[in-house]
């Protein structure tokens, strides 16, 4: 579909994004048009209704499209627009997950994971049918699109796909119990915001009981709107908390750099300094110090990545 659209759009003045090959944009002095393609589903956004109409005619001539009208439902995402901004959720998808797991009538949980839970790939009875667990975790990972608060536990449980055990399934059902409490929970993107990128990065040092790898977590905001987040296990075992902190900060910086490149690609100027917040003063001191000592030289590459790209600030984890 993307290749067909490319051949169709060349004479129409559209530009294919280098940061997201499924995105096509066209900007003139007065209008901006964006087209996003996912297999045979297409989204169109513009500040001109006439530009949208013209684009629909062009696409219909080539592909005989079905016009679904204003965006309300797309790939499991429910979208609601107002003067205040755009709200996204996956309520229908969440309820379907609960129904498939026979948990529609379950008691809601206050948190997505028991804070005292210590999951291991060696403890617990192996599941006879691991496909059920794998399907459930895959569905929960897709729910992360609008529910960032289940990202950590969802990615943690995805580490046990090869040989899932009963405690892993119980933890996955705990996520569903948490979702039951607020199936309509989602994201809000305000129409009135300051174009300023701010990110927060943190790490849980040596958190994996099997490999002693650290867990990185970050979130990126444009203004007050959350636009990107992730939680994943670091590929390298860190020998100190500061090393793991700096690796987490470097990962967050890479995400910010991609986001800035994406904004440039769609001709959106971002002049303010990008901010990265961390709760560790020592990591910030290393970022500001150009002299590498024996104990920190093994993270020199990450230090340069962070220092050259981002302004570092301290934030307390406790009020």
- Show the tokens assigned to 164: 């899932």
H helices of the chain, in order, are 2-9, 49-63, 91-100, 130-143, 151-157, 166-181, 241-265, 281-288, 300-309
The 10s digit of each residue's pLDDT in 200-212 is 988 888 777 778 8
Whole-prediction pTM: 0.81
Beta-bridge partners for 15: 25
Domains, in order of start, for the chain = 2-69 (3.30.310), 89-181 (no CATH), 193-314 (3.30.420.10)
Is residue 186 within 8 A of residue 88, CB to CB? The reply is yes
Is residue 262 within 8 A of residue 18, CB to CB? The reply is no
Is residue 160 within 8 A of residue 209, CB to CB? The reply is no
Phi, psi of 303, rounded to the nearest 5 degrees = -65, -40
Mean pLDDT by runs of 10 across the 319 residues of the chain is: 55 80 87 88 91 87 83 92 93 95 93 88 92 95 94 92 95 96 93 88 82 90 94 83 81 88 86 80 54 47 54 65
Share of the chain above pLDDT 90, in %: 41
Q: Is 35 helix (H, G, I), strand (E, B) or coil?
A: strand
Distance CA 223, CA 248 (A): 22
């Amino acid at each position: 579909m993307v290749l067909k659209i490319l051949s169709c759009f060349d004479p129409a003045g559209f530009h294919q994004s280098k940061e997201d090959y499924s995105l096509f944009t066209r900007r003139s002095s007065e209008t901006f048009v964006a087209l996003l393609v996912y297999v045979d589903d297409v989204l169109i956004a513009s500040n001109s209704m006439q530009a949208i109409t013209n684009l629909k005619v062009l696409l219909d001539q080539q592909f005989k499209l079905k016009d679904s009208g204003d965006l309300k439902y797309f790939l499991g995402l429910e979208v609601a627009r107002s003067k205040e901004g755009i709200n996204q959720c996956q309520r229908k998808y969440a309820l379907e997950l609960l129904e498939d797991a026979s948990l529609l009538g379950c008691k809601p949980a206050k948190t997505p994971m028991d804070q005292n839970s210590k999951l291991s790939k060696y403890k617990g009875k192996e599941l006879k049918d691991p496909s059920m667990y794998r399907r459930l975790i895959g569905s929960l990972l897709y729910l992360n699109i609008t529910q960032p608060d289940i990202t950590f536990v969802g990615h943690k449980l995805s580490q046990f796909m090869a040989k899932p055990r009963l405690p892993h399934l119980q933890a996955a059902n705990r996520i569903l119990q948490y979702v039951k409490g607020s199936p309509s929970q989602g994201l809000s993107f305000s129409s009135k915001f300051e174009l300023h990128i701010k990110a927060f990065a943190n790490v849980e040092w040596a958190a994996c009981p099997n490999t002693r790898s650290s867990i990185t977590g970050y979130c990126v905001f444009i203004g007050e709107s959350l636009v990107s987040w992730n939680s994943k296990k670091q590929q390298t075992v860190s020998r100190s908390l500061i090393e793991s902190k700096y690796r987490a900060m470097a990962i967050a910086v890479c995400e910010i750099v991609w986001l800035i490149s994406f904004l440039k690609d769609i001709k959106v100027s971002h002049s303010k300094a990008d901010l990265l917040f961390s709760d560790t003063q020592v990591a910030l001191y290393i970022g500001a110090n150009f002299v590498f000592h024996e104990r920190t030289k093994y993270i020199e590459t990450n230090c340069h990545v962070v220092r050259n790209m981002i302004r570092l600030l301290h934030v307390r984890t406790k009020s």
